[in-house]
């Protein structure tokens, strides 16, 4: 069964193929994807690698976590399931924001 890994701290110039090449010595790489910002299209500096089995992914984690890639120390660990997030993009209407203080007849706040 395939095992998915999170890879963080990557140089922003890293491509999908370069990510795959980093993990190939540890086994069969089913997929390697760098995550890009939707608006700018630029790399976010992290990605996901899917290895063909757990033993291969464990070997990759042991060898690559904390290693140097392009002058940056990378983080490699087992990917966690994606958390459900609101579909509205996190926007929450407010009541106008800020705090306000009431004043009495004499102009004093309470």
Per-residue pLDDT tens over the stretch 50-101: 999 999 999 999 999 999 999 999 999 999 887 776 666 555 555 555 555 5
Higher pLDDT, 106 or 52: 52
Residue 100 DSSP SS3? coil
Instruction: Report whether 31 contacts 88 (CB < 8 A).
Output: no
Phi, psi of 55 (to 5 degrees): -60, -40
- Per-residue burial over 9-40, b if 16 or more Cβ lie within 10 Å, else e, is bbeeebeeebbbebbeebbebeebebeeeeee
Question: Has residue 39 been placed in a domain?
Answer: yes
Write down the pLDDT at residue 56: 97
Q: What is the pLDDT of residue 83?
A: 78
Q: Decide if 73 is inside a domain.
A: yes
Residue 93: what pLDDT?
59
30: three-class secondary structure by DSSP: strand
In a domain, 54, yes or no: yes
CATH number at residue 38: 3.30.70.330
**Domain assignment of residue 36, yes or no:** yes
* 55-to-8, 18, 68, 91 alpha-carbon distances in Å: 21, 22, 22, 41
Residue 51 lies in a domain: yes
Domain assignment of residue 93, yes or no? no
Residues spanned by the domain of 67: 3-78
Q: How many CB atoms lie within 10 A of CB 47?
A: 23
> Do the domain assignments include residue 108?
no
Could you tell me if residue 18 is inside a domain?
yes
What is the number of domains present in the chain?
1
Residues 4-33: tens digit of each pLDDT? 999 999 999 999 999 999 999 999 999 999
pLDDT of res. 1: 77
Distance CA 56, CA 63 (A): 11
């Amino acid at each position: 069964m395939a095992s998915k890994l999170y890879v963080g701290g990557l140089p922003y110039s890293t491509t999908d193929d370069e990510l795959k090449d980093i993990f190939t010595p540890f086994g069969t790489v089913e997929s390697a994807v760098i995550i890009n910002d939707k608006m700018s299209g630029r790399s976010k500096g992290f990605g996901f690698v899917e290895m063909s089995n757990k033993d291969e992914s464990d070997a990759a984690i042991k060898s690559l976590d904390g290693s140097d890639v392009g002058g940056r120390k990378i983080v490699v660990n087992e990917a966690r399931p994606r958390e459900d997030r609101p579909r509205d993009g996190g926007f929450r209407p407010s009541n106008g924001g800020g705090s306000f203080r009431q004043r009495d007849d004499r102009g004093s706040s309470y």
